[in-house]
Amino acid sequence: MQNAMQPAESPALRQLYSDFKTQHLNPLWTQLGDLMPRHPRPKAQAHLWKWADLYPLAQASGELVPVGRGGERRAIGLANPGLGGEAYISPTLWCAIQYLGPKETAPEHRHSQNAFRFVVEGEGVWTVVNGDPVRMSRGDFLLTPGWNFHGHHNETDQPMAWIDGLDIPFSFQNDVGFFEFGSDRVTDYATPQYSRGERLWCHPGLRPLSQLANTVSSPIGAYRWDYTDAALSQQLLLEEEGHPATVEQGHAAVRYVNPTTGGDVMPTIRAEFHRLRPGIETPTRRDVGSTVFQVFEGRGAVAMGGVTHQLEKGDIFVIPSWIAWSLQAETMLDLFRFSDAPIMERLNFDRSLIEETT
Ligand SMILES: [Fe+2]
C-alpha cells in the first residue's frame, strides 16, 4: 500500500532525518507497517525439536558440564530460530531440557521468574521447594512459582531429564527479575512419596479451613499423573456414554489450576493436558500469544503455518502468535501444553480464530 506520508526526497529531508538521529528520535511514518501490522506477524517461528535429538545432547552435557553454583542448572534452552539465537522458545516463554546425573544436587536459589517442570520419563529426583521435598515422576507437573527457593537432588544411580518452563523472556524484556542464592545443598534430603503441600491440598473438592486466603500461585507443588490420566480417561468414557465432557469430539482436555482461585497455576503461565483419540483432527485455529506442546505418549502430526510435522514421544513444538495450527492423532495422542495465555488475557490482548472447515 502507498504510504501517503512518504515525503519527497530532498537535502532538507535528509538533514531532518539526520537531526532526528542526533536527538535520538525516530519518526512513526517510516516504520508504521512493522509496528502496527494488520495482524500479529511474529518474529518467532513455528518449530519442532525431536526428543531423539534433544536427549542425547542433554546426556552429553551431563558428561561434560558440572552442575553447581554459578551455572546453577544443567539446562539447555530451546532457541527459537526466529529470535536471533536467544534461548527463548517464544517472546514470552522459556523451555529447556534439564539433566541431573546420578546422585547429583542442583543447589538452591530463588528468582522472580515463575517456573514449572514436566517429566516425560524417569524417576528418582526430588525438587525441594521452600523446604518441602517434592517427588518428580513420569507425567507429573511440578510448580516453582516466583520467589520460592528451590533445588533438586537425584537419589538414584540413574540420570534423569525433564523440561523446565519459565517466563524468562517476558521478565528479561520488562526488567522485572530478582535473583538470590540459597543453600549450596538442598535444605531437606527427605524423599517422601507426597510433599507437605500435596498432603494439605490434594483431596478433591476439599479446602483446608486453615487456608481460606487466596494465593497468587497454586500452593500445590506437584500435579500427579495418576489424577491427570484418570480425569482424561473419564472424559472419554463419559463421551462414549453420551454425556458432555470433552472439548470437542474425541478430544479430552484439562487445565491445571490454582485451587484457591480456580484460575491458572501461576500469574504468567497456563498449563494443560490434552488427549486425542486415534484419527481425531482438531480444527485449524489461531490464537494471540505463544504456546508450547510436548508429546507425552503416542504418534500423530501437527500442522503449523501450513507445514506438517510428524510427532513422537517427547517431541516439543512451539506455535507463535497467530500462526494457524491443528493436531492430528494417529494413535491415542497425549500432549502436555503450556502458554502465556494468562498474560494475554489479563491485558485483554487475547483473541482466537477458528477457521471454517470445508
Ligand atoms: Fe531456578
* Digit-coded pLDDT (tens) for 36-54: 899 999 999 999 999 999 9
Taking the centre of ligand 1 as the mean of its atom positions, its distance from the CA of residue 240, in whole angstroms, is: 43
Amino acid 203 reads H
Taking the centre of ligand 1 as the mean of its atom positions, its distance from the CA of residue 146, in whole angstroms, is: 9
Mean pLDDT to the nearest integer, 201-230: 98
Angle at the Cα of 103 from the Cα atoms of 99 and 104, rounded to 5 degrees: 50
| CATH class label, 47-201 | mainly beta
Taking the centre of ligand 1 as the mean of its atom positions, its distance from the CA of residue 200, in whole angstroms, is: 24
Taking the centre of ligand 1 as the mean of its atom positions, its distance from the CA of residue 152, in whole angstroms, is: 10
Taking the centre of ligand 1 as the mean of its atom positions, its distance from the CA of residue 96, in whole angstroms, is: 12
All structural domains of the chain with their residue ranges: 47-201, 224-354
What's the pLDDT score for residue 171? 98
The C-alpha cell that represents 33 in the structure block: 507497517
> CA distances (Å), 137 to each of 21, 22, 134, 194, in order?
56, 58, 10, 11
Taking the centre of ligand 1 as the mean of its atom positions, its distance from the CA of residue 257, in whole angstroms, is: 21
* Digit-coded pLDDT (tens) for 157-204: 999 999 999 999 999 999 999 999 999 888 999 999 999 999 999 999
What's the pLDDT score for residue 54? 97
Taking the centre of ligand 1 as the mean of its atom positions, its distance from the CA of residue 175, in whole angstroms, is: 17
Q: Rounded to whole angstroms, how far apart are CA atoms 129 and 197?
A: 10
- 174-185 exposure pattern, b = at least 16 Cβ within 10 A, e = fewer: eeeeeeeebeee
Q: Rounded to whole angstroms, how far apart are CA atoms 125 and 38?
A: 47
Taking the centre of ligand 1 as the mean of its atom positions, its distance from the CA of residue 88, in whole angstroms, is: 16
Q: How confident is the model at residue 3 (pLDDT cuts 50, 70, 90)?
A: low
Taking the centre of ligand 1 as the mean of its atom positions, its distance from the CA of residue 111, in whole angstroms, is: 7
CATH classification for the domain delimited by 224-354, as one of 1.20.1290.10, 1.10.287.3510, 2.60.120.10, 3.40.50.300: 2.60.120.10
Taking the centre of ligand 1 as the mean of its atom positions, its distance from the CA of residue 33, in whole angstroms, is: 38
Closest by alpha carbon to 278, among 249, 250, 315? 250
The C-alpha cell that represents 259 in the structure block: 485451587
* Digit-coded pLDDT (tens) for 117-143: 999 999 999 999 999 999 999 999 999
Taking the centre of ligand 1 as the mean of its atom positions, its distance from the CA of residue 150, in whole angstroms, is: 6
List the beta bridge partners of residue 281.
328
pLDDT above 80: residue 5? no
Q: How confident is the model at residue 101 (pLDDT cuts 50, 70, 90)?
A: very high
DSSP H helices, the chain, are 11-22, 32-35, 51-64, 168-174, 196-201, 225-240, 341-346
pLDDT above 60: residue 1? no
Taking the centre of ligand 1 as the mean of its atom positions, its distance from the CA of residue 103, in whole angstroms, is: 19
Matching fold, domains 47-201 and 224-354: yes
- Looking up cell 552429553, which residue turns up? 60
Amino acid 318 reads V
Q: Rounded to whole angstroms, how far apart are CA atoms 126 and 123?
A: 9
Q: Which class for 341: exposed (0-12), middle (13-18), buried (19 or more C-beta within 10 A)?
A: buried
Taking the centre of ligand 1 as the mean of its atom positions, its distance from the CA of residue 117, in whole angstroms, is: 10
Please enumerate in sequence order all residues whose Cβ is within 8 A of that of 214, keeping only pairs 6 or more positions apart, or say none.
260, 261
Cα 134 from chain centroid?
20
